[in-house]
Amino acid sequence: MNTHGELATYNFAYLDEQTKRMIRRAILKAIAIPGYQVPFASREMPMPYGWGTGGVQVTAAVIGPDDTLKVIDQGADDTTNAVSIRAFFQKVTNVAVTTSTRQATIIQTRHRIPEEQLGENQILVYQVPIPEPLRFLEPRETETRKMHALEEYGLMHVKLYEDIARNGHIATTYAYPVKVEGRYVMDPSPTPKFDNPKMHMSQALQLFGAGREKRIYAIPPYTEVVSLDFEDHPFEVQTFKDPCALCAATGVYLDEVILDDKGSRMFVCSDTDHCENRRNEGHHGHLSGQALEAQQ
């Protein structure tokens, strides 16, 4: 039997430098061909596949000691998996972390794009479960790669058309497919379609990592991103009847929170940082602390 004094000392950002170089090459290729899925030799990470290993590897490959990291899941900094990933990077990089969208240089996200407009000095890293937008129409990788190569996207349009024929509207609400720079059809990761317009001409670099499926893709800054639609059925985002119950914001994505077992519910900002900022600026929704106190 061996004696293992100390198990391992981990490199900055966990991955060894060769692995980081491999991932950076994949990222550069992805930036050069916007929307194209670049295969990369994804590593086993110390969190499970499907829990953000792709995003974590991308972040680990681009993060430097001077970066400020923000991690969100469902728009919130305080969801358990976001907490766990943020703690991981604090441990292996010791970089500054923040919940402020404005202060972050790298934002790793699952399922949302922050409400606040991102700038040129920022990178948005998406965690992607299934990178292939055509996967549910064609399960075989060998086939879908061919379809992308030949720009054969008829199947996708047929699917959207069938939705309209059956329901009168397109029944895809999240992971809504987009076309990038007029060439590749791309999966925006399972963000609600509400967020799709934010990807278009974004000033920030957008990187997508799918660890289990071993793919990286990217949208460089100022790239055209168009949600697929038809002339007579243009793309529409979700709208909410009421403003945020805490900060009274409108035109943002809201989470539905069930308040009791009698069916009362409230709608609040999914982007917690945005909501907090607005409340600090003096905006109050009808269920915020101040509003309730005023009622009493």
Partner 1 sequence: MYVAVKGGETAINNAHRLLADRRRGDRSVPAMHLEQIVEQLGLAVDRIMSEGSLYDCELAALAFKQARGDMIEAIFLLRAYRTTLPRFGYSNPVDTNRMHIERRISATYKDLPGGQLLGPTFDYTHRLLDPALMGSQDVETPVTKQAAEQSTPRVSQLLTQEGLIESDGDLPDDHQTGDLTREPMEFPMARDVRLQALSRGDEGFLLALGYSTQRGFGRSHPFVGEIRIGEVDVEIDIPELGFAINLGRIRVTECQMVTQFQGSAKSPPQFTRGYGLVFGQSERKAMAMSLVDRSLRARELGEDLTAPAQDEEFVISHADNVQATGFVEHLKLPHYVDFQAELDLVRRMRSEFEAAQERDGNAGEDLEAAE
Q: Which of 35, 64, 209, 263 is catalytic?
A: 35
How many Cα atoms within 13 Å fall on the side-chain side of residue 268?
A: 19
Active site residue 269: yes
Query: Tokens 């009168």 sit at which residue?
Result: 168
Q: Does 280 participate in binding partner 1 (rule CB under 8 A)?
A: no
Whether 217 contacts 23, CB under 8 Å: no
Active site residue 244: yes
Q: Does 174 participate in binding partner 1 (rule CB under 8 A)?
A: yes
Active site residue 154: no
Q: Does 111 participate in binding partner 1 (rule CB under 8 A)?
A: yes
Q: Which of 251, 269, 285, 289 is catalytic?
A: 269
Interface residue with partner 1 among 34, 75, 114, 188 (CB under 8 A) is 75
Whether 226 contacts 145, CB under 8 Å: no
Query: Tokens 């994804």 sit at which residue?
Result: 42
Query: DSSP string spanning the chain?
Result: ----SS---PBTTBS-HHHHHHHHHHHHHHHHSTT--EE--PPP-SS-TTSSHHHHHHHHHH--TT-EEEEEETTBSSSHHHHHHHHHHHHHH--EE-S-TTT-SEEEEES---SSPP-TT-EEEEE-S---TTTTT---HHHHHHHHHTT--HHHHHHHHHHHHHHSS----BS--EEETTTEEE---S-BGGGHHHHTT-SSEEEEEETTTTEEEEE-TT--EEE--BTTB-------SS--TTT---SS-EEEEE-STTS-EEEEES-HHHHHHHHHTT---TTSHHHHHHH-
Query: Tokens 């071993």 sit at which residue?
Result: 214
Shortest distance, CB of residue 222 to partner 1, whole angstroms?
Answer: 26
Residues in the chain: 296
Shortest distance, CB of residue 151 to partner 1, whole angstroms?
Answer: 21
Q: Which stretch binds partner 1 (CB under 8 A): 63-71, 82-90, 96-104, 115-123?
A: 82-90
Identify residues 126-145 at the interface with partner 1 (CB under 8 A). 129, 140-142
Count the neighbouring beta carbons within 10 Å of the beta carbon of residue 129. Answer: 19
Interface residue with partner 1 among 28, 48, 121, 151 (CB under 8 A) is 48
Shortest distance, CB of residue 70 to partner 1, whole angstroms?
Answer: 15
Q: Does 28 participate in binding partner 1 (rule CB under 8 A)?
A: no
Q: Does 182 participate in binding partner 1 (rule CB under 8 A)?
A: no
Active site residue 168: no
Q: Which of 52, 209, 244, 285 is catalytic?
A: 244
Shortest distance, CB of residue 232 to partner 1, whole angstroms?
Answer: 18
C-beta closer to partner 1: residue 53 or 202: 53
Q: Does 191 participate in binding partner 1 (rule CB under 8 A)?
A: yes
C-beta closer to partner 1: residue 8 or 150: 8
Q: Does 53 participate in binding partner 1 (rule CB under 8 A)?
A: yes
Interface residue with partner 1 among 194, 217, 225, 278 (CB under 8 A) is 194
Residues carrying an active site annotation: 35, 244, 247, 269, 275
Residues making contact with partner 1 (CB under 8 A): 1-2, 4, 7-8, 10-11, 14-16, 39-46, 48-51, 53, 73-76, 78-84, 87, 110-112, 129, 140-142, 167-168, 171, 173-175, 190-194, 212, 214, 238, 246, 253-257, 259, 266, 268, 270, 287
